Structure 1
Amino acid sequence: MLIAQLSDPHVRPDGVLYKGVVDSNALFAAAIAQVNALDPRPDLVLLSGDLVDEGDPAEYAMLRRLLRGLKRPLRVIPGNHDSRTAFAEAFAEHSYLPRSGPMNYVADDCGPVRLVALDVTVPGLHHGVIDDVGAQWLEEALAAAPERPTVLMMHQPPFACGIPYLDAYLCREGDRLAAIVSRHPQVERIVCGHVHRHMQLRFAGTILCTAPSTATAIALRLKPDAEPASFEEPPAMLLHHWQPAIGLITHFLPIGAFAGPYPFA
């Protein structure tokens, strides 16, 4: 099973640039085109939050226009820049999504890998949290299929990455999440967005990784007094490849046209 993960496209209304600088809509369209061109084609596409930049209905209208070009099954989760209400309205035909409240759901009909999506966003704020309701829901969702290889999707990652202006907005109560996941060894991967960079680490007996943004890259500045910054680095996606005899391999794939292919490896 092949799962493509896109994240943080920060779609803007038609003709409006992200932060007044970057054409995030065109970059997201290029990402969709690259997903469509993959061979073999992904069985599933994940979009792990911050689908739009300001939660505005005009942004979601543009997002829907762009997503009409996607030719593979899609599963989505909101981020801190999304509006739960506008998000639910924009994806009203996605029957797996709750109509209100946290957008938690399970997708176990897309292939051998089960997807558990946990909405850790806090409306109106930029950090995430594993609260009592989310923790109980996740425990029950994972306990329902202990033999199925599982990917857990969230938006904010539950760890301090060392970039000070990102760590203020991580997912809080990471220890609570770790305690739950450690009881469920079928969790092959925790996949997140939010940080606009690819990161990975061991977490609760599994691997946690973050997807880069299809828009801009947040600067990798590790000094405690570092000032927030971003760059127009090449956008990228993650490809999670499940093989029964091996498990789940995660690949980093830049988005764009590059010289090659050359007849050597």
Structure 2
Amino acid sequence: MNRHFLIAQISDLHIKAGGRRSYGVVDTLGALRRVITRLNALEPRPDIVLITGDLVDFGTAEEYGTLREALLELLMPFYLVPGNHDDCEQLRQAFADHYYLPKRGRLHWTVETHPVRLIGLDSTIAGQHSGLLEPEQLEWLQTRLSEKPTRPTLVMLHHPPFPSGIGHMDRLGLVGAEALERVISRHDQVERVLCGHLHRPIQKRFGGTVACVCPGTSHQVVLDLRDEAPSRFTLEPAGYLLHMWDPTHGLVTHQAVMGEYPGPYPFFDGDELID
């Protein structure tokens, strides 16, 4: 019997070193450890994990050391793209054994060893929180997608290529999003564009496919769609995405939330619906 290929996506880990809390409040390392424990215990277990940026909080070597130690507890391969809180050179050094990461230049990459092809994009601007895809980066993506037009593909980057309505986050958005959409629209093998940054689960039709934003592993951005909404976070339940690939039916995406809740409870008693 054919088994689904299961892909977990986590994002915006914001790991700090020395047990420090992000913004003085959030135990991001503890939150990551809880997510790792959950992913390792899932049945079926995910085949791979994709991590869509903001891996650490301030891009220091110490933070990446803490991150690496935690991620090595995963029982499956994991793949990284940087976010605006990351330092690409420190990331590259900390994960020098990750064969897919280039030794120099932008952290763009492809992975060909799974049923779904993976393409990672580096949307960061050093020292800034907004994102950018320059013409040469988009040309690189166009070339990669043209190489294998029938191969189902996931494209991942940190910054979502669309406005969310959360004003303070949209002001830190992606320059080059329209050009990215033009590239994606030429390639119908792209099953998803996977992103982070917004700390909320959000989906949008994009370039003939679906762009999915993953919730944060710890804190979430407040869902406030007023134009004047301040920049704030909340300790709503953390979450992750599970993308289930089936060659017959395509890609199905589920959102899961962290936490312990009552249940599960049965719907039926024998053959009868419980009244």
| Cα distance in 2 between the residues matched to 1:235 and 1:184 | 33
Q: Residue 180 of structure 1: SS of its match in structure 2?
A: helix
Partner deviation per Cα, 1:126-157 (whole Å, 9 max, x = no partner): 11112012111100111111111111001001
Query: What amino acid sits opposite 1:108 in the alignment?
Result: E
Query: What amino acid sits opposite 2:70 in the alignment?
Result: L
Kindly indicate whether the alpha-carbon contact (under 8 Å) linking 1:84 and 1:101 is maintained by their aligned counterparts in 2. no
Kindly indicate whether the alpha-carbon contact (under 8 Å) linking 1:181 and 1:187 is maintained by their aligned counterparts in 2. yes
Q: Residue 33 of structure 2: SS of its match in structure 1?
A: helix
Q: Residue 253 of structure 1: SS of its match in structure 2?
A: strand
Query: What amino acid sits opposite 2:153 in the alignment?
Result: T
| Cα distance in 1 between the residues matched to 2:77 and 2:171 | 34
**Alignment counterpart, residue 235 of structure 1, candidates 219, 234, 238:** 238
Give the structure 2 partner of residue 225 of structure 1: 228
Q: CA deviation at 1:68?
A: 1.7
Q: Does 1:207 align with 2:231?
A: no
Q: Does 1:64 align with 2:68?
A: yes
Q: Does 1:264 align with 2:267?
A: yes
Query: What amino acid sits opposite 1:212 in the alignment?
Result: P
Partner deviation per Cα, 1:68-112 (whole Å, 9 max, x = no partner): 211111111110000011000110100110122211000110x21
Q: Residue 177 of structure 1: SS of its match in structure 2?
A: helix
Query: What amino acid sits opposite 2:231 in the alignment?
Result: P
Give the structure 2 partner of residue 80 of structure 1: 84
Kindly indicate whether the alpha-carbon contact (under 8 Å) linking 1:84 and 1:100 is maintained by their aligned counterparts in 2. no
Kindly indicate whether the alpha-carbon contact (under 8 Å) linking 1:30 and 1:256 is maintained by their aligned counterparts in 2. no
Aligned residues: 264
- TM-score, length basis structure 2: 0.94
Give the structure 2 partner of residue 5 of structure 1: 9
| Cα distance in 2 between the residues matched to 1:69 and 1:256 | 20
Q: Does 1:172 align with 2:191?
A: no
Listed as ranges, the gaps of 5+ residues in structure 1 are none
**Alignment counterpart, residue 140 of structure 2, candidates 137, 141, 152:** 137
| Cα distance in 1 between the residues matched to 2:258 and 2:64 | 23
Give the structure 2 partner of residue 157 of structure 1: 160
Partner deviation per Cα, 1:40-62 (whole Å, 9 max, x = no partner): 11111001100000001111111
Structure number with larger C-alpha Rg = 2
Query: What amino acid sits opposite 1:63 in the alignment?
Result: L
Q: CA deviation at 1:199?
A: 0.4
Partner deviation per Cα, 1:13-64 (whole Å, 9 max, x = no partner): 0210111001010000000111101111111100110000000111111101
Listed as ranges, the gaps of 5+ residues in structure 2 are 269-275
Give the structure 1 partner of residue 51 of structure 2: 47
Kindly indicate whether the alpha-carbon contact (under 8 Å) linking 1:189 and 1:208 is maintained by their aligned counterparts in 2. yes
Q: CA deviation at 1:264?
A: 2.7
Query: What amino acid sits opposite 1:41 in the alignment?
Result: R
**Alignment counterpart, residue 119 of structure 1, candidates 114, 119, 122:** 122
| Cα distance in 1 between the residues matched to 2:255 and 2:142 | 30
Q: CA deviation at 1:187?
A: 0.2
- What's the RMSD between the two structures over aligned residues? 1.0
- TM-score, length basis structure 1: 0.98
Q: CA deviation at 1:175?
A: 1.0
Kindly indicate whether the alpha-carbon contact (under 8 Å) linking 1:88 and 1:97 is maintained by their aligned counterparts in 2. yes
Kindly indicate whether the alpha-carbon contact (under 8 Å) linking 1:195 and 1:218 is maintained by their aligned counterparts in 2. yes
Q: CA deviation at 1:246?
A: 1.1
Give the structure 2 partner of residue 247 of structure 1: 250
Q: CA deviation at 1:236?
A: 0.2
Query: What amino acid sits opposite 1:99 in the alignment?
Result: K
Q: CA deviation at 1:179?
A: 0.7
Q: Residue 135 of structure 1: SS of its match in structure 2?
A: helix
Q: Residue 188 of structure 2: SS of its match in structure 1?
A: coil
Q: Residue 30 of structure 2: SS of its match in structure 1?
A: helix
